[in-house]
């Protein structure tokens, strides 16, 4: 996992860094085109009701402080041993972060810039009555229903759908440049963030995408989870930038590599994980 992620991160960062040397290398047309494409400055206006494309970010994330948890939230949080402290203590094996074994990140953690790939891109496509979002991180996709339906009132009860890793989402255009997506019904196993905070299947998570201009997108994510938190808060407030090359790298967390790394390298040798 680490070798692949390092290679991928280098490719991703190289695509973003203005280095004339790489541009002169004469890369093959298409696939992971190298060099920095010329972007018009200033960018043109935002097209109407259109977020299609590959966006890189989150950049300059400025979330609000996390509010106090409820007793239920605290109880779950206590059981979690995040990756960061475990690696600082040279004992990766003591972390129970599900992502160490490459379990799905789930929503909304998959929006964060994770250690594996520092730039998580996504792209919007469409199918009947839906928007579809594909992510570079873990190569997963989400489905957003745009047909005016209501979110499920409950999950995991008779007659209701089952909770799932990326939840159930509906979307609407608030105006020609702002798409609002509401999500609920997330499986409770994934963590909310790197520290291991919980989120419940009844949480309501709102994403607000505002296309500022042709090349800039702002995302605000609000968490409303009364089961685990005493009040709603802004969990993410960040920018995304259009990538003209519009290419993804394949970014997988491969369970066999992650498990082998954890069990054979990190734990016995006491290697500090950064």
Partner 1 sequence: MRKTCAGIIAGVAGAMFLSALVAAQGDAPRSPWKYYPEDARANKGDGGPAPKRDLTGTWAGESSGAGVERLVPPESPPPLTPLGKQLFDRNKAEGANVVVAESNDPHVKYCDPFGFPRNMNDQIRSMTITTLPNRTFVLLRFMNIWREIWTDGRALPTNFARGRDAHDPTYNGYSVGRWEDDYTFVVETTGIDPATWATESGYPHSVDARVTERFQRKSKNDLTLTMTMDDPKLYTRPLNLGTVHFRWIPSQTFFDFTCIPSSVQRYLKEMADPAGKPGGGAR
For partner 1, the binding residues (CB under 8 A) are 7, 11, 25-32, 52, 98, 101-104, 123, 125-130, 132, 134, 139-141, 143, 149, 152, 158-162, 164-166, 168, 185, 246, 248, 250, 252, 254-256, 258-259
Report the nearest approach of partner 1 to the CB of residue 118 (Å).
Answer: 18
CA distance 55 to 143: 17
Considering the complex, state which of residue 66 and residue 265 has its C-beta at the smaller distance from partner 1. 265
Report the nearest approach of partner 1 to the CB of residue 60 (Å).
Answer: 27
| 238, 119 contact by CB (below 8 A) | no
State the sign of the Cα–Cα–Cα–Cα dihedral 198, 110, 102, 134. Answer: positive
Q: Who's near 75: CB < 8 A, 6+ residues apart?
A: none
Report the nearest approach of partner 1 to the CB of residue 88 (Å).
Answer: 23
Structure tokens at 247: 């290419």
Considering the complex, state which of residue 176 and residue 260 has its C-beta at the smaller distance from partner 1. 260
Considering the complex, state which of residue 69 and residue 211 has its C-beta at the smaller distance from partner 1. 211
State the sign of the Cα–Cα–Cα–Cα dihedral 158, 160, 161, 166. Answer: negative
Q: Who's near 226: CB < 8 A, 6+ residues apart?
A: 70, 202
| 248, 136 contact by CB (below 8 A) | yes
Considering the complex, state which of residue 166 and residue 229 has its C-beta at the smaller distance from partner 1. 166
CA distance 67 to 160: 30
Report the nearest approach of partner 1 to the CB of residue 168 (Å).
Answer: 6
| 247, 31 contact by CB (below 8 A) | yes
| 66, 73 contact by CB (below 8 A) | no
Report the nearest approach of partner 1 to the CB of residue 18 (Å).
Answer: 19
Considering the complex, state which of residue 104 and residue 198 has its C-beta at the smaller distance from partner 1. 104
Considering the complex, state which of residue 48 and residue 256 has its C-beta at the smaller distance from partner 1. 256
Other CB atoms within 10 Å distance of the CB of residue 79: 9
Other CB atoms within 10 Å distance of the CB of residue 108: 22
Report the nearest approach of partner 1 to the CB of residue 21 (Å).
Answer: 11
Report the nearest approach of partner 1 to the CB of residue 234 (Å).
Answer: 27
Structure tokens at 95: 């972390």
Considering the complex, state which of residue 98 and residue 226 has its C-beta at the smaller distance from partner 1. 98
């Amino acid at each position: 996992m680490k070798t692949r992620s390092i290679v991928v991160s280098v490719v991703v960062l190289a695509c973003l860094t203005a280095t004339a040397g790489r541009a002169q290398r004469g890369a093959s047309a298409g696939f992971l085109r190298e060099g920095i494409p010329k972007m018009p400055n200033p960018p043109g206006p935002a097209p109407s009701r259109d977020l299609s494309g590959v966006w890189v970010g989150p950049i300059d994330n400025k979330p609000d402080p996390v509010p106090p948890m409820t007793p239920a939230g605290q109880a779950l949080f206590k059981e979690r041993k995040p990756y960061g402290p475990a690696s600082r203590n040279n004992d990766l094996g003591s972390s129970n972060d599900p992502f160490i074994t490459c379990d799905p990140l789930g929503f909304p953690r998959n929006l964060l810039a994770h250690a594996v790939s520092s730039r998580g891109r996504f792209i919007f496509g469409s199918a009947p009555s839906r928007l579809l979002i594909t992510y570079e991180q873990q190569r997963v996709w989400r489905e957003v229903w745009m047909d005016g339906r209501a979110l499920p009132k409950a999950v995991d009860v008779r007659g209701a759908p089952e909770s799932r890793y990326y939840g159930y989402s509906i979307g609407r255009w608030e105006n020609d440049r702002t798409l609002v997506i509401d999500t609920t019904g997330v499986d409770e196993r994934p963590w909310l963030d790197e520290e291991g905070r919980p989120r419940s299947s009844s949480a309501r998570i709102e994403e607000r995408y505002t296309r500022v201009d042709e090349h800039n997108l702002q995302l605000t994510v609000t968490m409303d989870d009364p089961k685990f938190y005493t009040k709603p808060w802004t969990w993410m407030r960040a920018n995304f930038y259009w990538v003209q090359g519009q290419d993804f790298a394949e970014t997988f967390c491969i369970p066999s590599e992650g498990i082998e790394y954890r069990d054979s390298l990190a734990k016995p040798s006491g290697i500090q994980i950064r």
